[in-house]
Amino acid sequence: MTVVQAALSGVLLGGLYALMAAGVSVTWGVLRIINLTHFGLMLLSAYLTFDLATVWGMDPLLTVLVTVPVMFVLGGALQWAYDTLRVSELNSLLLSFGLLIIVVQTVSNRWSADFQRMPLDVNPYATGSVPVGQFAFPTPTLIAFGVAVFLIAGAHLVLRRTFIGRALRAYAQDRAVAATFGVDHRRVGVLLAAVAGATAAVAGMLYSLINALTPATAYEWFGIVFAVVILGGVGHLIGTLAAGVVVGLTSAVVSVVLSPAAAPLVLFTLIVLALLVRPTGLFAVRTSR
């Protein structure tokens, strides 16, 4: 029973991991930008959620009405800047890391370095759960999982079934050929990065439902997010969701069967082994590059 409960919780937490990783994966896979500033947008969204809920009295879930448009604009503006400055894939790593440091310091100056956590009276979701038989589905991760499935499946369908999606995929595969077919790379790139920014807003809100915030939180996300991105296949959205679930499930089960201290060791060993077998990611159907 302990293992099953832990596995259920792990799968649901995997949804949050996937949502956090989706924006990084798609901008890396399609736009060839390794956007570490995405972590800053998530952090900023989490703190804005905190403020909107504790100071303005908004329901934390409804704060996305404010944060999504803001991060949509910021995400698009960043991509416009990257594109205008002709930032290469490697340079994007350095530049976006610098921007992340600026965001972290700004957050630190505005909200202090101390822990900020929404109290229960403004965040009633934190300790809630949905009981099903002997098991409990924690409310915040259940919401995170549902939102992740909805957004990632939706984005996958858009990429597969719409003109803009086909344009983006064509752009990802060969920029020059896509341009000869009339794909305006700047416009579609900005749009894609803006949508990725919007997912950062949702991920930040969901993270703040569960966790205390400190500015340094952004750096703690690196390991798990990049594990999910790489395992899922860079730019592969459904793969990202599957990888998030695998990471969450593996960590939870290893924590119970062996020890929580063994979870990172087992998880990252499995990831290394998986990448030796499938270098483009365990869930990548084909390379997106």
Measured from the CB atom, is 105 or 269 closer to other proteins? 105
Measured from the CB atom, is 82 or 125 closer to other proteins? 125
**Is 131 among the residues that bind other proteins (CB under 8 A)?**
yes
> What is the nearest approach in angstroms of other proteins to the Cβ of residue 133?
13
**Is 117 among the residues that bind other proteins (CB under 8 A)?**
yes
Measured from the CB atom, is 223 or 279 closer to other proteins? 223
Measured from the CB atom, is 80 or 137 closer to other proteins? 137
Structure tokens at 213: 């915030």
**Is 119 among the residues that bind other proteins (CB under 8 A)?**
yes
Task: 180-188: list long-range contacts, CB under 8 Å, 24+ apart.
Answer: 185/83, 186/80, 186/83, 188/164
> What is the nearest approach in angstroms of other proteins to the Cβ of residue 194?
28
Nearest to 43 by CA among 97, 101, 103, 98: 103
**Is 59 among the residues that bind other proteins (CB under 8 A)?**
no
- The contact mask relative to other proteins for 227-266 (x = CB under 8 A, - = no) is ---------------------x--xxx-xx--xxx-xx--
Q: Is 2 exposed, middle or buried (0-12, 13-18, 19+ CB in 10 A)?
A: exposed
> What is the nearest approach in angstroms of other proteins to the Cβ of residue 22?
17
Positions 208 through 227 that interact with other proteins (CB under 8 A): 210-212, 214-216, 220, 223-224
Burial 250-266 (b: 16+ CB within 10 A, else e): bbbbbbbeeeeeebeeb
Q: For the chain, where are the alpha helices, taking DSSP H only?
A: 2-31, 37-54, 64-84, 89-111, 139-161, 163-173, 175-180, 185-210, 217-220, 222-232, 237-257, 263-277
Beta-carbon contacts of residue 246 (< 8 Å; ≥ 6 apart): 14, 231, 282
Per CB under 8 A, residues contacting other proteins are 1-2, 5-6, 9-10, 13, 104-105, 108, 110-121, 126-129, 131, 136, 138-141, 210-212, 214-216, 220, 223-224, 248, 251-253, 255-256, 259-261, 263-264
